[in-house]
Amino acid sequence: MSYTKRNDGRKFEETREIKAEVGVIKNAQGSAKFQIGETIAVAGVYGPRNLYPKFLQDPEKGVLRCNYNMFSFSVDDRIRPGPSRRSREISLVTQRSLAPAVNLNEFPNAVVDVFVEIIQADAGTRCAGICAASMALADAGIPMKDLVAAVGVGKVGDKIVVDLDKFEEDYEGGASDMPIAMLPRNNEISLLQLDGELDVKEVKEALEMGKKACENILEIQRKALKDKYKGGK
Q: By the 8 A CB rule, do 33 and 20 touch?
A: yes
| Shortest Å distance, C-beta 95 to ligand CDP | 15
Rank residues 48 and 165 by Cβ distance to ligand CDP and give the closer one: 165
When binding is defined by CB under 6 A, the residue of 25, 121, 206, 213 that contacts ligand CDP is 121
Rank residues 44 and 124 by Cβ distance to ligand CDP and give the closer one: 124
181 is a contact residue toward ligand CDP (CB under 6 A): no
Rank residues 79 and 110 by Cβ distance to ligand CDP and give the closer one: 79
Q: Count of residues binding ligand CDP (CB under 6 A)?
A: 14
Contacts of residue 178, Cβ cutoff 8 Å, sequence gap at least 6: 152, 153, 154, 192, 193, 194, 195, 196, 198, 203, 206, 210
What φ, ψ does residue 216 adopt, rounded to 5°? -65, -40
Site for ligand CDP in 79-98 (CB under 6 A): 79, 86
> Taking contact as CB under 6 A, which single stretch among the options 53-61, 93-101, 102-110, 122-130 is the one that binds ligand CDP?
122-130
Site for ligand CDP in 123-142 (CB under 6 A): 123-126
Q: By the 8 A CB rule, do 60 and 111 touch?
A: no
What share of residues in the chain are helix, strand, coil (percent, to 5)? 35, 30, 35
Rank residues 79 and 144 by Cβ distance to ligand CDP and give the closer one: 79
122 is a contact residue toward ligand CDP (CB under 6 A): yes
> Taking contact as CB under 6 A, which single stretch among the options 53-61, 118-126, 211-219, 222-230 is the one that binds ligand CDP?
118-126
Rank residues 86 and 185 by Cβ distance to ligand CDP and give the closer one: 86
Rounded CA gap, 35 and 17, in Å?
A: 8
Instruction: Find the DSSP H helices in 66-178.
Output: 85-98, 125-139, 166-169
x/- site string to ligand CDP, residues 37 to 76, per CB under 6 A?
--------------------------------------x-
**Amino acid identity at 201:** K
Strand partners, 54: none
Count of CB atoms situated within 10 Å of the CB of 121: 20
Residues across the chain:
233
169 is a contact residue toward ligand CDP (CB under 6 A): yes
Q: By the 8 A CB rule, do 69 and 116 touch?
A: yes
| Shortest Å distance, C-beta 79 to ligand CDP | 5
Chain residues binding ligand CDP by CB under 6 A are 75, 79, 86, 121-126, 166, 169, 177, 179, 195
